[in-house]
Amino acid sequence: MNHSEMNKPDEYDMNDSNRSDDQDSGYNSGGNWESMHNFLDALIPDDWSPSARKWVPIAAGGALALIGLSRKSAFGFTLAAAGGALAYYGSRSGETQTESVARGSVLLNCTPEEAYSRYRNFEDLPTFMKHLQSVTKIGERQYRWVARGPFEIAIQWDAEVFDEKVGESISWHSTPDSAITMEGSVRFAASPANRGTELTSVTRFDHPASDLAQTFAKLLGKDPSFLMQQDLRRFKALIETGEIPTTEGQSHGPRSAMDKAFEALDPDSSKRRESRMSETLNENWRTA
Amino acid sequence: MKALCWMGANKTSVETVPDPQILNPRDAIVRITSTCICGSDLHLYDGFIPTMEQGDILGHEFMGEVVETGNGINKEKLKVGDRVVVPFTIACGNCFFCQRKLWSCCENSNPNYWIAEKLMGYSPSGLFGYTHMLGGYAGGQAQYARVPFADVGPLKIPAEISDDKVIFLSDIFPTGYFGAVNCDIQPGDTVAIWGCGPVGQFAIRSAFMLGAERVIAIDRFDYRLKMAEEGGAETINYEEVDDVVQTLKEMTANIGPDSCMDAVGMEAHGNNFLAFVDRAKQMLMIETDRPTVLRQCIQACRKAGTVSVPGVYSGFADTIPMGAFMNKGLTMKTGQTHMMNYMQPLLERIQNNEIDPSFVISHRVSLDEAPEMYKTFRDKKDHCTKVVLDPWANGKAA
């Protein structure tokens, strides 16, 4: 199996572009706009980041509009109008996000069978999936998943395994009566030359208008793939070493007043403190 | 317990903090008998490496007695009462890299791997007391330390050898040796080593162990150059010559040293224009590292030679002579030391009296005096080469 197949297997293709929801988009009144919108959607490569989707059309559209206006001709005017529409398209990008897709992969130092059987034990997933509270078996192939949302609000969905190949893959999706629509799958493939197992995982959550789902969308935050990758790294550590590395609870000297304030306000701040540091880091490197 | 905490750039203090606890099954708690200040701690002290946080316990060179083990530790590998030297890199022993003996690239020991990934693409292993980006583990300039994956790293030490002889197996002796291994020394080779701090001193002696014909050591402090001479090296005081690269040329019949080692790293001093520009950029935080020595290594190295970099770099360095590096066909080898490959063999060399590493020790003080010693060491006052701290002595003992 080659790498591109690993990363984007066909049956896992859950198109991670931000699908627009025409029902409440509010800007599909004109047929021209809609066809242009669809045309641009098709034109922009799927692997562009959301910010590229937004800012590239804005920048390109803005430039076109300026060039067009400077020509002071009929053609220039058309160009300016097209540029304006393009910029508008960019500015609306991301506003109608209706799903979040998380992808992740890790190399595990074990056989695909071992990795499969550890992962297939869904009840144990919360050990390494930090935002999961519990997974409970509720039927032959059905499980109830409970995640911890902001302010400890529990978010729950029911999902069933609809396809699995022992030692190779597991696929599951939400049951018809589930509060949240989602699908997930994980694949285990032997890495060449006894390097272990390549685990690839994809999960997609729909964001219908319900409050629950909106809360969950917030929980997943800006980058669901980042959270998934962290979960997978914890799974890797657990499989390879029998434990998950941590410094939580270790000794330290007096923290700064700012850190103490954050800690008092937010019991989860040990993690976020490091996110803050990494943001500062990014700022520094951007200027470097 | 007492612990030395980083309280901001140029500020450390000894604080009373809770004793460390076992947090994971493969942890051990070590009661520390000796601990040192490392030259790389000075990069933290000076505030040049990001993701330190006020209150972090410093220190990554320590040894002591195991006083508690987690329930995941195989008692045959490590048990309460064992006397151990703890390597500064933390390795799980089970991942892709550990299984290939590339211990300092361990995948599982850095819980904050993702911060390092932003900076480096992939994260190296966790280290003790060396930024949150590299694990955020509490360090060993304290009375006790928690050691994760304690069944992999710590090396058991027989009772009859003194702390002074083996403490440097925790970092600088293997690091100097690894620097020399990375020089790929062949019979007849000349090795040029920039930086005659403790790592440089061990690198000089290791280069001879590995068969170097000549070692040329470069520094600006006579007391360090003298120590290098005692190790058999020829020396250059770079403040007394016009051009180090030219001097090396003249010393090697215009061929150049076969390998060049940067045992200085990101805070290099220099007396040329680029070094001044680096200093200004570093102060403005638009460059993290001052690569004066690395530039000289690349320029001075003979064609198709090897540049070895045990010196610590943290981020970005400008104006690296890539043209020289490429056109001369050089090889560069670097990395945090793969400690577990070298600790046991080097312990045997100590036991066979081939080397007594305690020669680098210039100061023995109590932990209480550590904040003062950081200043002395940074300013190279009082011929300070290596500081060993006794965490149990009170005040100005020693």
> What's the ipTM?
0.90
Strands (E), A5-70: none
CA A218 to chain centre: 11
Cβ within 8 Å, pair A253-B148: no
Query: Do the chains contact at B94 and A253, CB–CB below 8 Å?
Result: no
Check if A240 contacts B (Cβ < 8 Å).
yes
A250–B7 CB contact, under 8 Å: no
Q: Kindly list the residues from chain B whose CB atom is less than 8 angstroms away from the CB atom of residue A257.
A: none
Whole-number Å distance between alpha carbons of A135 and A119: 12
Q: How far is A60 from chain B (nearest CA, A)?
A: 29
> Any chain B CB within 8 A of the CB of A196?
yes
pLDDT in tens, B233-247: 999 999 999 999 999
The nearest CA of chain B is from the CA of A31 a distance in Å of 44
Chain position carrying tokens 């045992």? B263
Q: In terms of domains, do A113 and A228 share one?
A: yes
What element of type H or E holds B364? strand B363-366
Residues A151 and A212 in one domain: yes
Side-chain half-sphere exposure of B77, counting CA atoms within 13 A: 15
Q: What is the pLDDT along chain B (398 residues), one digit of tens a residue?
A: 999 999 999 999 999 999 999 999 999 999 999 999 999 999 999 998 888 999 999 999 999 999 999 999 988 999 999 999 999 999 999 999 999 999 999 999 999 999 899 889 999 999 999 999 999 999 999 999 999 999 999 999 999 999 999 999 999 999 999 999 999 999 999 999 999 999 999 999 999 999 999 999 999 999 999 999 999 999 999 999 999 999 999 999 999 999 999 999 988 787 777 777 777 777 776 677 789 999 999 999 999 999 999 999 888 888 899 999 999 999 999 999 999 999 999 999 999 999 999 999 999 999 999 999 999 999 999 999 999 999 999 876 44
CB contact under 8 A, A277 and B50: yes
A118 and A182 together in one domain = yes
What one-character DSSP code corresponds to residue A69?
Answer: H
| Residue whose C-alpha is closest to residue B342's, from B123, B131, B173 | B173
Judge: A237–B92 Cβ closer than 8 Å, yes or no.
yes
A137 lies within 8 A of chain B by CB? no
Q: DSSP string of B243-285?
A: -HHHHHHHHTTTT--SEEEE-S-TB---SSHHHHHHHHHHHTT
- Domain region containing A178: 98-241
> Which of A191, A231, A247 has the most B C-beta neighbours within 10 Å, making it the best mutation to test the interface with B?
A247
Contact yes or no for A248 and B23 at CB 8 A? yes
Domain boundary among A223, A241, A259: A241
- B5 and B163 Cβ atoms separated by less than 8 Å: no
- Identify all chain B residues contacting A247, using CB atoms and an 8 Å cutoff: 23, 111, 135-138
A4 belongs to a structural domain: no
Question: Span B2-171+338-390: which CATH code?
Answer: 3.90.180.10
A192–B contact, CB cutoff 8 A: no
Same domain, A163 and A29: no
> Which one of B19, B23, B149 has the shortest CB-CB distance to A246?
B23
Q: Do A246 and B114 touch (CB under 8 A)?
A: no
Nearest to A109 among B95, B113, B142 (CB): B95
CA–CA min distance A64, chain B (Å): 35
| Cα A214 to Cα A98: distance, rounded to the nearest angstrom | 10
Hey, are the CB atoms on B23 and A280 less than 8 Å from each other? no
Query: What whole-number distance in Å separates Cα of residue A113 and Cα of residue A198?
Result: 12
CATH no. of B173-334: 3.40.50.720
Burial A214-249 (b: 16+ CB within 10 A, else e): ebbbebbeeebbebbbbbbbbbbbbbbbebbbbbee
Cα–Cα nearest to A51, from A178, A222, A172: A222
Q: Reply yes or no on whether the pLDDT at A19 is more than 80.
A: no
Mutate to test the interface with B, among A197, A243, A258, A283 (most CBs of B within 10 A): A243
Same domain, A44 and A73: yes
- Same domain flag for A130 and A86: no
Same domain, A65 and A107: no
What would the pLDDT profile of B117-132 be if each residue is shown by its tens digit? Answer: 988 999 999 999 999 9
Residues of A in contact with B25 (CB under 8 A): 242-243
Residues A84 and A163 in one domain: no
Chain A residues within an 8 Å CB radius of B53: 255-256, 259, 273, 277
Of B50, B56, B149, the CB nearest to A252: B56
HEC per residue, B191-231? EEEECCCHHHHHHHHHHHHCCCCEEEEEECCHHHHHHHHHC
Q: Using an 8 Å Cβ cutoff, are B190 and B216 in contact? A: yes
In a domain? residue A19:
no
Based on the domain organization, do A231 and A102 belong to the same domain?
yes
Residues of B in contact with A284 (CB under 8 A): 50, 285, 288
Q: Where are the domains of chain B?
A: 2-171+338-390, 173-334
Classify A195 in phi/psi space as left (phi over 0), alpha (psi -120 to 50) or beta. alpha
Residues in chain B within 8 Å Cβ distance of A244: 24, 111
Same domain, A68 and A131: no
Last residue of a domain, one of A44, A71, A92: A92
**Contact of A67 with A77, CB cutoff 8 Å:** no
What is chain B's mean pLDDT, rounded?
Answer: 94
Examine the domain organization and report whether A87 and A103 are in the same domain: no
Size of interface A-B (CB pairs under 8 A): 143
Regarding whether A229 and A182 lie in a shared domain, the answer is yes
Of B50, B92, B109, the CB nearest to A281: B50
- Number of domains, chain A: 2
Cα distance between residue B238 and residue B236, in whole Å? 6
Give me the pLDDT at residue B227, please.
97
**In B, which residues are within 8 Å of A248 by CB distance?**
23
